[in-house]
Chains A and B, each alone.
Chain A
Amino acid sequence: MISKKTAEAVLLCAVSRGAEFAELFVENNAKNSVSLVNGKVESANSGIDRGCGIRIINKERTVYVYTNNMAEDNLLRLASEGAEAIHGNTKLKNIVFSAMQYDKLYTPEIMPDSVKKSDIVDMLKTGSNAAYGYNKLITQTRMGYTDSCRNVIIANTEGLWAEDERVRTRIAVSAVASDGNEKQTGYFGPGALKGFEFYDTISIEDIAKEAARSAVTMLGAGNCPSGKMSVIMDNGFGGVIFHEACGHGLEAAAISKNASVFAGKIGQKIACERLTAIDDGTIPGSWGSINIDDEGVKSRKNILIENGILKGYMTDRYNGGLIGMEPTGSSRRESYKFMPVSRMTNTYIAPGTDKKEDIIADTEYGLYARYMGGGSVDPASGDFNFAVNEAYIVRNGKICEPVRGATLIGKGSDVLLNIDRISDNLALAEGMCGASSGSIPVCVGQPMIRVQNITVGGRE
């Protein structure tokens, strides 16, 4: 994608006005997508993203230039233009690259580009048929398939030369139930840092049936009540609560600007004693995993909170530098079009000792959130929100009638202290996370937890 000679020339040009550091990020991403609507292939698209980003850092100042015109003279022109914006006193004459050695977390068995497109369509149709077959109330289905094979080179003025290949695939399954007047949707989106063999490990049919069941259940549901109550959040995508309520606030970009309620709190109790939370980029094949981050740092398992005490942040080179902390292998970006910042990978609440059945049995009144949707947070205030896709009222220790349309809101610092039960059934679920460095694959996760006194916004 780029020769070492060109890379050296471009990097030297980028620091020619004395900046401390420069980095090249070169990418070739072969993408493929198929969309099936109501059982028919609506569109099939594929293509290549290719380009290069040059980052120059000097103390608090950063320059980022990117292009997909990879001709050496164009890269040199952009690098020298960038260098003009960032003067310093460092002198660098040459760079000796040394190739970064690391073990891959997972080796894909079936490369996506070797798969027949008709096999992908067959798989999507199997899902669509299963959803339609589940119940005659299912009136529409939407299935999406994506794969990408992303090759990157990261080189910097300190001599780093890192190459990585990231193969990901994901399927999105939606089923819409309708009774003539109303429509409700069930959705799941499993994916992995794997090749096409991933689909041998899951059953599209079961996933589609479950989406259909969820849609039909919600069709018959009344509106969720509003007000403060206990909420039991089931495992898997329930982990979105930690991702929003706390995870974003532990990213160094928010910490370095003191724009997080968790800034300056390392070593302090920020959560209930039984809570331990981890960001682990090293889980083999997991959707949110990374071999190396987008600055060429090996991914690792980072303990964020241990028994309620804040242990660490997720840092990148630039923001870590501002707060005097080493990079944690958390620097990520959607593509060469984004400057990397600290982001999450697979983030989860560690399992506790409670039994799922006991948590429900011990709840007099509250909401049981079986499946969660997405959410968002303002890290500065800690105000978060997220949607509940399938919920039930809990009364006298029993799961009762389903309710729809619930949104949960709160402040991250409060909610972590109000978690009072943690079960032992940890599971992860896949999602996309959007922030300043773009939209990236992440997993959220948790065992079933109960939160006291959280604001539920419904339509009753």
Chain B
Amino acid sequence: MMDIDALKKQLFEKARKKGFEDCELYYSENSHSSVSVYKGKLEKYQNSQTGGFCFRGSYNGSMGYYFSETTDIDIDSVIDNAMANADITDTDNKEFISEGSKSYSSVKIYNDALNGLTVEQKLETALEMERSALDYDKRIRPERASVSTGEGSVYIANTKGLELSEKRNYALASVSVMAEENGNTKSKYELFVGNDIEDLDPAGLGISAAKKAVSALGGSPVKSGSMNIILSNEVFADILGCFLPVFYAEEAHKGFSVLKDKTGERIASDILTIRDDPLIDGGFASCSFDSEGTASYGKNVIENGVLKTLLYNLKSAARDNVRSTGNGFKASFKSAVMTSATNFFVEKGNKTLDEVMKKTGEGLFITDVAGLHSGADRISGDFSLAAEGFRIENGVITSPVDQITIGGNFYDMLNNITAIADDLKFFASVGSPSVAVKNMTVGGL
């Protein structure tokens, strides 16, 4: 869309003239195309292409930013605005523009085969998901089924000679259904994320969503109290995803994570290992470099219960006198460089979920939680969430449970893990197997 080289040249020249030292151009383009069906017909077709650039530069020791979705903009105003932003930013909060790493690992994040997927094929896949869900049980009503593909690219260039680019593509498929019986309604969905469409089983996804909804019908609350709980792979991934920032050195430095100065200490059950790995082929957050141009690599964050490292960008690494872990990311091209995990996951255990249930004996299997954006306090670690699932009696799943809450503290929970199943699954960039936790507070009757 934009003539990047010309933009870069103009920006860097004018910025230098106005007194900027190191400067960077970050440019990104995205396209997305999706098809949604409802009751056997195409309901919605969407297509988009967007992009934009962000300039950042060091001025009198502070970093100034300015972004734009359009190049139809006066370059002087970009520089002047970035300068005004730099002027008010504190200088001891030092961000770096770097020449990058010596070498970069490659990772498969672009699949040419995805480009061949036609609108008709997406439509057929979405229809198959919906149809198989409806055929599964007569209590199922459709809500939406959609299939989409997208592509994104990033380009980073700076005055230290760094010039990097990478592009990725992906496919998403989701199916939402409602099950209804005796005035009781349950709405459930299944989601596929990947960049190999061969991995998608449309009928399987539809049936799975329908099964989830039907089996949740007729749930009832349990008595309030402390219980042994198995969190499904999805629920543990949801909770872990919510507390990700506690593993960011930047948050620890600001006093927003209690993991400050805990590296090397035991912070979790010794059966827990958590890894951040950006080099998984086809991974949702895979990349060969971060937004600062640092080469990506995999690392254990927690190993057998011991905190091995926090996640660093260049700024937080300089403060702790360590190397960046390649986790300096922008949330979008517009944002400032922050910290972000990549493919962040709990290593699987060696028992099946059935074996973990058997070992648990009596308790709850939690399959859904809601309210993570409000009912979890990242700073204290406290959470209390609306939850649903099933009773576990004599080591097997029995009746559905709903209208309960589960409460606890994230850090206590890490220590109270008693078993980890082998059903590791990724939900976008966060992955987990099902995890058994003792003594969690359940709110119900």
Interface code B374-389, partner A: CB below 8 Å = 1, 0 otherwise?
1101011011111000
Closest to A176 in B: B379
Closest to A86 in B: B45
Contact assessment for B45 and A82 in the assembled complex, using a CB-CB cutoff below 8 Å: yes
Count of A-B residue pairs with CB < 8 Å = 250
Please indicate the chain B residues that have their CB under 8 angstroms from the CB of A62 in the complex: 43-45
Q: A410 contacts the other chain (Cβ, under 8 Å)?
A: yes
The one of B38, B334, B371, B384 in contact with A47, judged by C-beta atoms closer than 8 angstroms, is: B334
* Chain A 23-56 interface residues, beta-carbon cutoff 8 Å to B: 34, 37-38, 40-51
**Given contacts A139-B255, A337-B50, A457-B386, are A85 and B45 in contact (CB under 8 A)?**
yes
**Given contacts A60-B43, A378-B370, A387-B374, are A183 and B380 in contact (CB under 8 A)?**
yes
The one of B81, B377, B407 in contact with A226, judged by C-beta atoms closer than 8 angstroms, is: B407
Closest to B405 in A: A457
Q: A329 contacts the other chain (Cβ, under 8 Å)?
A: no
A60 to B39, CA, bound (A): 11
The one of A61, A65, A70, A224 in contact with B70, judged by C-beta atoms closer than 8 angstroms, is: A70
Interface code A118-150, partner B: CB below 8 Å = 1, 0 otherwise?
101100000000000000000110100000000
The one of A63, A176, A373 in contact with B255, judged by C-beta atoms closer than 8 angstroms, is: A176
Q: A411 contacts the other chain (Cβ, under 8 Å)?
A: yes
How distant is A350 from chain B, measured CB to nearest CB, in Å?
25
Q: A290 contacts the other chain (Cβ, under 8 Å)?
A: no
* Chain A 219-258 interface residues, beta-carbon cutoff 8 Å to B: 224, 226-228, 257-258
How distant is A101 from chain B, measured CB to nearest CB, in Å?
30
Interface code A257-268, partner B: CB below 8 Å = 1, 0 otherwise?
111010000000
Closest to A139 in B: B255
Q: B336 contacts the other chain (Cβ, under 8 Å)?
A: yes
How distant is A116 from chain B, measured CB to nearest CB, in Å?
9
Contact assessment for A48 and B178 in the assembled complex, using a CB-CB cutoff below 8 Å: no
Q: A10 contacts the other chain (Cβ, under 8 Å)?
A: no
**Given contacts A47-B67, A339-B46, A385-B371, are A457 and B87 in contact (CB under 8 A)?**
no
A121 to B90, CA, bound (A): 11
Number of residues on chain A facing chain B (CB within 8 A): 80
Q: B238 contacts the other chain (Cβ, under 8 Å)?
A: no
Q: B138 contacts the other chain (Cβ, under 8 Å)?
A: no
A43 to B66, CA, bound (A): 11
Q: B143 contacts the other chain (Cβ, under 8 Å)?
A: yes
How distant is B374 from chain A, measured CB to nearest CB, in Å?
3
Please indicate the chain A residues that have their CB under 8 angstroms from the CB of B186 in the complex: 380-381
Q: B88 contacts the other chain (Cβ, under 8 Å)?
A: yes
* Chain A 56-82 interface residues, beta-carbon cutoff 8 Å to B: 60-70, 78, 81-82
A455 to B385, CA, bound (A): 12
**Given contacts A48-B70, A66-B48, A385-B385, are A455 and B42 in contact (CB under 8 A)?**
no
The one of B48, B69, B256, B403 in contact with A140, judged by C-beta atoms closer than 8 angstroms, is: B256
**Chain B contact residues, CB within 8 Å of chain A:** 1, 38, 41-52, 54, 63-70, 72-73, 81, 84-90, 92-93, 119, 141, 143, 178, 184-187, 221, 224-225, 254-256, 258, 334-336, 370-371, 373-375, 377, 379-380, 382-386, 402-409, 441-445
Chosen A-B contacts, 6 in total, with CB atoms closer than 8 Å, are: A34-B88, A44-B86, A224-B384, A227-B224, A455-B221, A457-B384
